[in-house]
Structure 1
Amino acid sequence: MASSNPPFAPLSPAFAAAFRRAANGGATLRFDAFMALALYDPVLGYYRREHTRVGRGRGTDFYTATSLGPLFGELIAAAAATLLREAGLDPAAYTFVEIGAEPTGGVLTGVSHPFAALRTLRVGEPLSLAGPCIVFSNELFDAQPIRRFVRRAAVWHELGVALITNDSALQEHDLGPASAEILASLPPASETPEAYVFDAPLAAATLAATLSNQPWHGLFLAFDYGKSFAELGHSVPAGTARAYFQHTQHNDLLAQPGEQDLTAHVCWDWLITALARVGCPTPTVSSQESFLVHHAADTLAGALAVESAKPASPRKRALMHLLHPAQMGQKFQVLHALKPASTVSAAR
């Protein structure tokens, strides 16, 4: 995917007005509030407007594993069934619930599977989970609003966004020293280089806790890209937030809000903690390549056997894209965990 800063249209009056409303008439917002507005405003938000975002065609901005055809869904179904059976559970008793599915359909649309039923929850729909479930998401958590912090003069400062130039433009705004209660979620300022940017994916952790605390039991399965807390605090000095527009990755997070995707790495440690708190015994993160090789081995072997003699096969290309370390195989990780039925009874 290309990386540059393409030219953009000026800030729309409609978004400027929405910004003012969100700021209660003021001209500044915390970055997470701006990101929530840009992505999830019911009228202007990138994920709420009626348009085709995902795919390889004209007018799309990015593609996901689902864009590669049904093979990804076949591998997901196989891996989920394997994990349930290895735990002594019958996949036929579980509903496969996809959180954040695109309007065009879920990952198992048109795919043969052993589950009791399929259910998709799209952006904006209530998150209601109960009973035996496979709770699946693909690139859900990286699209949650983040809070941004920068280390200045040995102190963490929170970053926001300000309306400027008669509400015709946006710029980054220093909101001052971070509040005391947030410091526990940040790396120690004394151990962090000057000007280091820490993008805190707190909303993703909150979403994981919300999903985990509902009265369901079964398998949690999240495909996404993220880092450990230590990596976020030491290996990405410019932060992890990025924008995507017409298959170009760039760093102008404030450009044409509502028209481009915004994303940031999740903190796997925080999601693991959310699952562990509700009784999931061993939440595990692995690369996408490793996860599929270990838990969908038979389906992979069958696909390779069928497609090996077809060098131009779309399914073979999709398989290589999903597994190759230089493609999605290492870029994406998978968090999976079993939530025992006993945790639901205990919660009640």
Structure 2
Amino acid sequence: MQHLVFLLLGLGNGAVFGALALAIVLTYRSSGVVNFATGAIALYTAYTYAFLRQGQLLVLIPGVDSIDLGTPMGMWPAMGLSLVIAALLGLVLYLLVFRPLRTSPLVARAVAALGISLLIAGLVAQKLGTDPVEVSPIFPTDVWQAGDLQLSADRFYFALTIVVLSVLLALVFRYTKFGLATRASAETERGAYVSGISPDRIAAYNWMLSSAVAGLAGILIAPIVPLVPVAYTLFIVPALAAAILARFDLVVVAVFAGLAVGMLQSEAQYLASQYDFLPSAGLPELVPLILILAVLLIRAKPLPARGEIILQTLGRAPGHFTSLLPPW
């Protein structure tokens, strides 16, 4: 029974992993960028929401004070404005950074995303410090109990929200013109241009959508997990594992994989407390790394062994080239 309890305790973190994995998939499908800054976007949006609830508009520019709005903002207006800001941030990142890098190697785009993640997290830490920020609950905080089994209602509603969102997005990408255009751009940009579709425009829209999804994850997890810069940026590793399990393509699978990762991490923490031969710290963090390694070992093509390439023959040259070779 305790195993099931700890699995359910991981629903909260699993939901944010799933939402971030969903955002990663959306970005990758449209622009080919593995957006390591997804966690940082969620962090910035969560802080924006928290400050709006206090009556301030957060400004991360060094030396510039946040804007005093005069009165605290309600939950729904604050959430709506925060998601709009997250979408605009995604658009700016695409136009200023990733669109100019669209023909660059994957490594260059990944390094740029990591740089943006470090920049946003550093600005937040420099501006606001690392003390946790309290955020009022969004979902009901009741505890459901059945015998020895307990489940927090907020974690369940959070997970349910992300699952419903993934299903809706899957339907959008399958049955709408926007979804068909996104799939066409993902298949071949040249073919999309021939069909009258602008891959740049489609990528920009998807960057806005993925940033809003990441921002929503940050807002919803803020009342459950303490809002500190370090925690949010580390969410990218489990989210990346979920995205890899979803092959960077399947949005619903990405969310369920994220939920599974979060639940397995919670179970790993319980096992570490029960068995002395297991490490007392760091075991939950190993779960996504083990999953990534397992997927790579099972699905990736094996690398050639040392010396294998030079031992292979080149085959016979075409006849008209053979005739040009001097006799030996």
TM-score under structure 2 length normalisation: 0.20
Which of 1 and 2 has higher RCO (CA within 8 Å, sep 6+)? 2
Q: Counting strand residues as a fraction of each chain, which structure ranks higher?
A: 1
Who wins on radius of gyration, i.e. which is larger?
Answer: 2
